[in-house]
Amino acid sequence: ATVCRAVRNVTVALKRLLYSFVVFPGHRPTRFIKEGCHKIAGFPGVIGCIDGTHIPIIAPSVNEGDYVNRKSFHSIKVQIIYDAANIITNVEAKWPGSVHDSQIFRECTLSTKFGHGEFTGYLLGDRGYPCLPYLLTPYPDPEPGPQQRYNLANCRTRARIEMTIGMLKARFQCLQRLRVTPERACDIIV
């Protein structure tokens, strides 16, 4: 019981500090963020890469079916945006595992800010996201030439940066499977 209370108190305290440290597009000037992403594969104007990941949880007693993801296990779906330095600049951890990446992005406040033109630059995402003027995704069936080069640069930039999620899961072993309610799982993930 003591450990449980301590974990709860620490996660609540850290969640309050989240927006002091996790800031989009980052604490560095946008120009440096774009340069870092450009160095990876020559993709210009990128201020972050977006990706979703599943954090396994035990089956909840309420709305259990909502938490079953496409891989048939219970999870919390987390959306993370990070830059070339593997710094997380945005995190959304409040969705059941069955929710699609595109819905999470559509409903997050960052999507609205991008839509209103508050940021100068692009996000790179995989095919799970819609292609928008500020969110660039790969061509589904690229033609030889520019479309294939675009897809290659997009993929290389995202692949290099997607290591962040792997590093997080390796560093914080509790993310392999959380044995708490979904609400508490979201707090722990953040």
Quote the pTM value: 0.91
| pLDDT single digits (tens) 99-146 | 999 999 999 999 999 999 999 999 999 999 999 999 999 999 999 999
Task: State the residue for tokens 């520019």.
Answer: 146
Q: Which regions of the chain does DSSP assign to beta strands (E)? A: 46-56, 75-82, 88-96, 122-124, 135-136
Question: What does the block give as tokens for 102?
Answer: 């595109």
Q: What is the DSSP letter of 70?
A: T
Q: Taking the CA atoms of 138, 141, 143 and 148 in sequence, report the sign of the dihedral they define.
A: positive
| pLDDT single digits (tens) 32-79 | 999 999 999 999 999 999 999 999 999 999 999 999 999 999 999 999
Report the C-alpha gap between 53 and 165 in whole angstroms.
8
CA proximity to 33, closest of 151, 121, 133, 159: 121
* 122-124 and 46-56 strand pairing: parallel
Average pLDDT, rounded, for the chain: 93
CA proximity to 92, closest of 112, 74, 73, 72: 112
Whether residue 50 contacts residue 114, with contact meaning beta carbons closer than 8 Å, is answered with no
**Omega before residue 142 within 30° of 0, cis:** no
| pLDDT single digits (tens) 138-147 | 999 999 999 9
| pLDDT single digits (tens) 146-171 | 999 999 999 999 987 778 898 899 99
